[in-house]
Amino acid sequence: MALLQISEPGQTAAPHQHKLAAGIDLGTTNSLVATVRSGKAEILPDVEGMHLLPSVVRYCETGAPQVGAIAKQSAISDPRNTISSVKRYVGRGLADICKGCSRSEYEFVDSDSSVPRIRTVAGDISPVEVSAEILKNLKLRAEETLGGELTGVVITVPAYFDDAQRQSTKDAAQLAGLQVLRLLNEPTAAAVAYGLDKGSEGVHVIYDLGGGTFDISILRLNRGVFEVMSTAGNTALGGDDLDRIIAQWLIQQAGLDPSALSAGQMRATLLEACRAKEALSDAEVVGVSLSVTDGSVADDAVWQGELTRTQLYELIDPLIQKTLSSCRRALRDAGIDVDEIEDVVMVGGSTRSPRVRELVGEFFHCEPMVDIDPDKVVAAGAAIQADILVGNKPDDEMLLLDVIPLSLGIEIMGGLVEKIISRNTTIPSAKAQDFTTFKDGQTALAVHVVQGERELVSDCRSLARFELRGIPPMVAGNARIRVTFQVDADGLLSVTAREQISGVESTVQVKPSFGLTDGEIETMLRESMSHAQEDIAARMLREQQVEADRIIESVESAIVADAQLLSAEERSQIDVALSELRKMRDGDDPRKIKQAIEALNTASTDFAARRMDASIQSAMTGHKVDEF
């Protein structure tokens, strides 16, 4: 007997035509799958009733890889073949990965395809394949639960994921045999789960403090449309850091040497720290104990102590304050005041801490929303969105807008970045800008697509390179090359370059390239602030240098062509100005370069006028006035 679900009025599907859709929260530590049944988003448990699937995959010599809790158990006994936190590596180059974590937990193999692979007993595995195993497991769980094949899924990604990371997530889904309806930003999913889209218009804040990362997003609901106004965060700050700082305090209080602790002792201390933290949610003071077996004392010796709530707050407040400074930045980016905020949604297990709720509430002047389990809220929102996208709720016109987390642009002469789509632009979005050739007879143009806030290409992340060939030879500056940037609803970028006069076009699929700069967007944003002044100075210098090169080249070619038009005195004046400009060009003062450019211009004005006359004369010689 089939099991039926309640439908919305008039929308009962014909038998065997139920469209099954699911939302997947593909997390760093844990993953979840949810679906909408009888109008309610539900997290789907596995056979044992567990909702969370640990994002851990273990590769074995023979047979299929193990996924979830069973793989997690072997993390200590078989660390090389048990892969956890793979989300940190998805869509990243080897250089990024090595820079990101000093401890190389896995053996990475650099392959030809620039995608790093992890060496296991089952062969070399790419992070995308590991993600695909987790997705396959969730897919199986959903299909067994719902009794049919999934029509499509919505997968959530951090708002900070760049194009390469988003594309890799989609690749993983494809590998797992899932049809991705859409990638959804995690904060947006949380807002949907709380039904903020059906509530009052206004500004909503999503505060997401997970195990290892912190994200803040500011959304505006306007005439039923969700718009992400700004995002900020910290990719290396989370609940684990709270535990670590308490553990350090415990070690210090117990008078232990942190470097002498074994891995097992460290784990025990972290567990004790976590227990104390949770107990202090209710109690004013909690007893703590550490087993002290570092050799200096007899085995089984135990240090006993206590931790008060006040002490705990002193320890964790600085970390919470760090999250609040990200909040402040997000508010500034969005250009809004704290008092304009309607409500604050709490996401992530660490927001269970009453202190976090208290300080966040104080900061935003309102009571945070905590009704939905903060671990499950993102998956629930994704499920609701999937249900709508698959067509189970056709009258619902919810439209979600996300933003581009970092500006997108191209490299121009002098290694400078011309931003085409600026940060926090809502997507989908398309923008175009015209460029031209730099040299006479230039027939090709290299387009280098970069992402970042800095002024120089070397400080930004390189996304792709391609060439536009077949530009008809023209005088420098005559070609009109339109470069169009298009970002689709999933946040994926495609770039087109088209020469307007001849119509030659290069529509190149941007293949995300990996590993040129540290992908840590937080760092990139912070650097763009702290380097703002020197960046602008560097840009001015490069601009003047490019201009100087152009002038030097044109004057030199003019001298070669028409040296006979110059008197010896004029020639020496121009030579002096030329060598002065060459000297200044290699210096670092843009104003001096500009002065030297002007000096050369002045020195060569008469020469230029005479050249013009000469060329007109030669063109007119032998012609009657009528002919012109």
Minimum CB–partner distance for residue 370 and another protein (Å)? 18
Burial code of 420-444, b = ≥16 C-beta within 10 A, e = fewer? bbebbeebebeeeeebebeeeebbe
> Which of residues 7 and 74 has its CB atom nearest to another protein in the complex?
7
Give the span between the Cα atoms of 316 and 115, in whole angstroms: 38
Backbone φ and ψ of 437, nearest 5° = -85, 155
DSSP label of 112: T
Q: Determine the residue type at 452.
A: G
Q: Output the smallest distance, CB 456 to another protein, in A.
A: 53
Q: Provide, rounded to whole angstroms, the least separation between the CB of residue 45 and another protein.
A: 7
Shortest Å, Cβ 18 to another protein? 9
Smaller CB distance to another protein: residue 143 or 570?
143
Q: How far is it, in rounded angstroms, from Cα 451 to Cα 423?
A: 10
Minimum CB–partner distance for residue 2 and another protein (Å): 4
Nearer Cβ to another protein (40/328): 40
Site of interaction with another protein (CB under 8 A): 1-12, 14-16, 37-40, 44-47, 141, 144-147
Distance CA 455, CA 18 (A): 52
32: part of which helix (H) or strand (E)? Answer: strand 30-37
Q: How far apart are CA 55 and CA 169, in angstroms?
A: 14
CB 301 within 8 A of CB 291: yes
What is the closest distance, in whole angstroms, from the C-beta atom of residue 8 to another protein in the complex? 6
| Ranges assigned E (strand) in 254-311 | 285-292, 301-308
Rounded Cα gap, residues 101 and 88, in angstroms: 10
Question: What tokens does 550 get?
Answer: 């152009």
Of 146 and 525, the one with the shorter C-beta distance to another protein is 146
Q: Say which amino acid occupies 426.
A: T
The β-bridge partners of 55 are none
- The set of catalytic residues is 25, 87, 186, 208
At 455, the amino acid letter reads: E
Of 44 and 487, CB closest to another protein:
44
* DSSP class of 17: -
Q: Which is nearer to another protein, 45 or 202 (CB)?
A: 45
Q: Which of 90, 89, 108, 109 is nearest to 100 (CA)?
A: 89
The tokens 């996924």 sit on which residue? 67
Residue among 204, 159, 207 at smallest CA distance from 352:
207
The distance of closest approach from Cβ of residue 17 to another protein in the complex, given in angstroms and rounded to an integer, is: 9
The sign of the dihedral angle between the CA atoms of 156, 157, 162, 164 is: negative
153 SS3 class: strand
Rounded to whole angstroms, the Cα distance separating 237 from 247 reads 16
Distance CA 330, CA 340 (A): 14
Nearer to another protein, 45 or 415 (CB): 45
Nearer to another protein, 40 or 267 (CB): 40
